[in-house]
Amino acid sequence: MSIPRHIAIIMDGNGRWAQSRGLPRGAGHRAGVKAVRSTIEACVRHGVPMLTLFAFSSENWRRPKEEVGLLMGLFLEALDREVDELHKNGVRLRFIGELALLAPELVLRMRAAEQRTMANTRLTVNIAVAYGGRWDIVRAATGLAADVAAGKLPAESIDESAFAARLLLGDSPDPDLFIRTGGEHRISNFLLWNLAYTELCFLPELWPEFSPEHFEQALAQFAQRERRFGMTSSQVAKL
């Protein structure tokens, strides 16, 4: 089976999962942490080198303050509880997004987790927090414009490769497979540049229901796709 080099996931449906069971939305977010753990384990088991999880978007700040506060607390809890096990299993953690918007205590814990796991090579897990795809693109464009204005970079040298390198995942391969749970069929401002040729997989299951079996389903779908990147099938067959 063809294994993706990089999987990106929108973990949708925690709140709906809780509400359907008569529970507060926070219970859904707590249940979703278990699905994160099993997904990381599945990536390690299958030899997937990179996983990017959309944990909190730039638009999620619009949610009720109580829910945002709970999510931030869950990040702290999960970091304290999980980082030892992740490190022991060779998993590297990276956080991407507008981290300056987060509480200083949380950012310190994130940086400490990054530092501790930096040398691990079995699996890299990028966690997108306070992240938006449009913000990422504007940030890259602003950086390039500043370098041109300062005379550090000729404008004519800017091409797709130069632009992609300025994105937060500029040092990583683009995702081969995108998974979204929860039944919605959109990418919701996630990795807009990086997903240009990614295979998309939308699942009806809510995120706390996402199991190793659902992960296997997504991998099976990916293996059946013909990835042409603008070429014809006969051209791809000769590669």
Mean pLDDT by 10 residues, the chain (239 residues): 93 94 90 94 97 88 76 80 93 94 88 96 95 97 97 96 97 98 96 97 97 96 80 61
Torsion of CA 128, 132, 137, 138, to 10 degrees: -130
pTM comes to: 0.92
One-letter identity of residue 118: M
- Alpha-carbon torsion 137, 56, 8, 77, what sign? positive
Question: Closest by alpha carbon to 35, among 137, 148, 179, 146?
Answer: 179
Question: Could you tell me if 54 and 12 are in contact, meaning their C-beta atoms sit under 8 angstroms apart?
Answer: no
179: exposed, middle or buried (Cβ count in 10 Å: 0-12, 13-18, 19+): buried
Ranges of each domain in the chain? 6-237
Helix (H) / strand (E) element for 95: namely: strand 91-96
Options 12, 14, 126, 176, the catalytic residue:
12
Active site residue 60: yes
Where are the alpha helices (H) located in 199-239, listed in sequence order?
212-224, 233-237
The CATH class of 6-237 is alpha beta
Position 25 scores a pLDDT of 87
Active site residue 189: no
- In the three-class reduction of DSSP (H, G, I as helix; E, B as strand; rest coil), residue 122 is classed as coil
Helix (H) / strand (E) element for 36: namely: helix 25-46
Please give the span between the terminal C-alpha atoms of the chain, in angstroms, as a whole number: 18
Options 60, 120, 147, 174, the catalytic residue:
60
